Structure 1
Amino acid sequence: MPERVGDPGVDDPRSWSADEAVGALYAAHWQRLVALAASLMGETASAEEVVADAFVALHRRWDRLADRASAVGYLRSSVVNGARDVLKHRVVAERRRPLPDPAPDGPEEHAVRAAEHGIVLRALDALPARQREVLVLRYQGEMSEQDIAEALGISRGAVKTHAHRGLSALRAAVSRGFEQEQP
């Protein structure tokens, strides 16, 4: 079949019914359109669905198509747009897919984590009481600076100071603890 429905040697496409036109276009262009969609999408199963949807849309719109001779161009555009839509949907679905549960830890990971946990707890215990209270309320209690200030009866500035000094001392103590643990 010629590339355009209205090329010489083909009946006047304006006189074709939607069934006749889509049938002729399907026979002549299905494989090329599937190959186009597959190359855009990277796989054939969805490409065939996109092409089928393009033919269905052409069939529905046949009577309203302004230039029936450019039906192949309409199909190509529909296939490209359909492939884009599928790819966009995949990206969105992938972003929204929940992360898989992490693999359960083995005995070695439990031992390492317990040792690390012990180092952090010992370093936390070594802090002055006010710094320890601020850090525990902030990170374990998930309280805001204002809430901590009210709970401890100190100013917000004092909360910031204790948090800063406590974190600095905690980092240093944990770092020393890890260095001492290594053989």
Structure 2
Amino acid sequence: MQVATTGEPARPEDARGWGADDAIGALFSAHYRGLVRLAVLLLHDDGLAEDVVQDAYVALHRRWWRLRDADKALAYLRTSVVNGARSALRRRGVAERHLAREEGRQEPAASAETGALSLLAHREVLAAVRRLPARQREAIVLRYYGELSEAEIAEAMGVSRGAVKSHAARGMAALRQTLERTR
């Protein structure tokens, strides 16, 4: 990893002109934990979340030479994590439906809450967020947990800014309604 003239480690945003190994190393050091937390909130599975994030870093490393703007690397990683989480949720749904058919059940049993999420102080809010449709949940998590702008959320989700506003507004309305009922 390169070192800045001040003696501090180089920042990922200074990655222009770096090789893939140095740039990915800096991005990994700076953003891995946050991307895993994002994936955990979307997937509710620590191990799978780590796999999705690692796959995103591997894909970025493989395609580093094709990346036109190194400043977009973090946005690329976020988008990869969101898309990887969507794919994992689709695969999980297919597997659960197949298992339910095999066992003759109507609905699969609800999975246990993961240890990381059970430690969070706001269980009611998290439970309500989990019940949101996928796109609304993604918009809410990226906005309020990831603290991304509408433009960054739109890029990560692969939708327009208007769609982000719509998903976020519908998600917030559903959360408000759910939380008012529980009180």
Length-normalised TM-score, structure 1: 0.49
TM-score, normalising length: structure 2: 0.49
| Higher Rg of the two aligned structures | 1
